[in-house]
Structure 1
Amino acid sequence: MSSLNTVTEQLTAAGRAIEHDSFAVIDQEAGPHTYDDAQWQVVRRMIHANADFDFNGLTEFHEGAIAAAMSAILGQRSRVVADVEMICVGLSAPRLAHFGLTTHQFISDADVIAAAQAENTTRAVQAMRKAHRGGLLDGAIVGIGNAPTALIEVVRLIREEGARPALIVGMPVGFVSAAESKDLAATLREVPWIVIRGRKGGSTLVVAAIHALLGLAEAQARERALAS
């Protein structure tokens, strides 16, 4: 049996070589870090996505984040709930299907827009409320890369309405409430999280982080199969 991932790797030898060479460059140039091996797999892929070494240091993990992600992904009962369609489109459909994961986003739904207009909130807030009403947040990997208000609302839903995502990947980018929303998420003890401190972030980073987590899950599943 191969020691390499097959589902979460590039599909051609040339593609895999380029990606692995890129990771080698990142490992060489990133400098020292305090992440464990699994966390570094996530941070390294985020650096790879943006060629920005600042994510070595800006990225922070709840102590239970990796374990929670592995449990959710390998449990075949989870889903990804995103703040914007870009995340759902960016995630690899074959990789998600391998783990039985589905994606959900409601940012452009007519009822979400109407509720945001009626209540003078953002569509992102109403989208997270709709996901919660539909029972989709519980046990989900929540990926937020665009809307700080979505992340703030998820924290509220956790604390006030008992929502229990498996993991929050909170990486909204921007200048208004972006840094503050991630600081708020990092105070959560009820639900594990991965955040990028400060203004940097974006949907691309959420996709990269989730792809890294899928890769870790495939490796863990392979190790379990070999041990059994």
Structure 2
Amino acid sequence: KRAPVLVDARMVAAGILARHLPDGVEIHCGLEDPRLADLARAAGTTRSARLVTGWCQRLRGAVVVIGNAPTALFQLLDELRTGAGRPAAIIATPVGFVGAAESKQALVEAELGIPYVTVLGRRGGSAMAAAALNACLVEAA
């Protein structure tokens, strides 16, 4: 439906095979915004979480792909609970020892009624998130 793909890391964007995206679909990251660090500091949060807050106007119908930051997934869940537009789908494979397993479990337990792909536990990462989206795109074609 030509909705944007919103990603939490440039490595996720780099792994998406653009040739499989429908014409007109854009990938948005936003981490390169020079204001992001100051906005995050003022909000007392991480750059990734603040990035997701900035997505609120683009969320409705978008595909959200989080492959790096557990804080981005936690923030997405908070935004959805407080009435943000609902994305068409969520791919969430943040990786690491701090918050990764908990953020993905929170997605499962949220029962949002939004299709999602995740992998439970600490494993995941940008490559896995991009690969999951690529698989969906190839299957849809």
Q: What range describes the TM-score normalised by the shorter chain of this pair?
A: over 0.9
Structure richer in helix, relative to its length:
1
Q: Residue deviations 1:21-47, cap 9 Å, x none? A: xxxxxxxxxxxxxxxxxxxxxxxxxxx
Q: For 1:1-228, what aligned pairs fall within 5 Å after superposition?
A: 75=1, 77-96=2-21, 98-132=22-56, 135-190=57-112, 191-218=114-141
Q: How much does 1:161 deviate?
A: 2.7
SS of alignment partner, residue 101 of structure 2: helix
Give the TM-score of the pair, scaled to structure 2: 0.93
Structure showing greater Rg? 1
- TM-aligned CA distance change 1:99 to 1:187, over 3 Å: farther
Q: Residue deviations 1:70-96, cap 9 Å, x none? A: xxxxx3x21210001111121112222
Q: Give yes or no for contact 2:59–2:84 (8 Å, CA) kept in 1.
A: no
Structure 2 gap segments, 5+ residues each? none
Q: What count of residue pairs does the alignment treat as equivalent? A: 140
Structure 1 gap segments, 5+ residues each? 1-74, 219-228
1:85 counterpart letter in structure 2 = R
User: RMSD between aligned alpha carbons?
Assistant: 1.2
- After TM superposition, the runs of 4+ consecutive aligned structure 1 residues lying more than 6 A away are none
Give the TM-score of the pair, scaled to structure 1: 0.59
Q: How much does 1:99 deviate?
A: 4.5
Sequence identity (%): 38
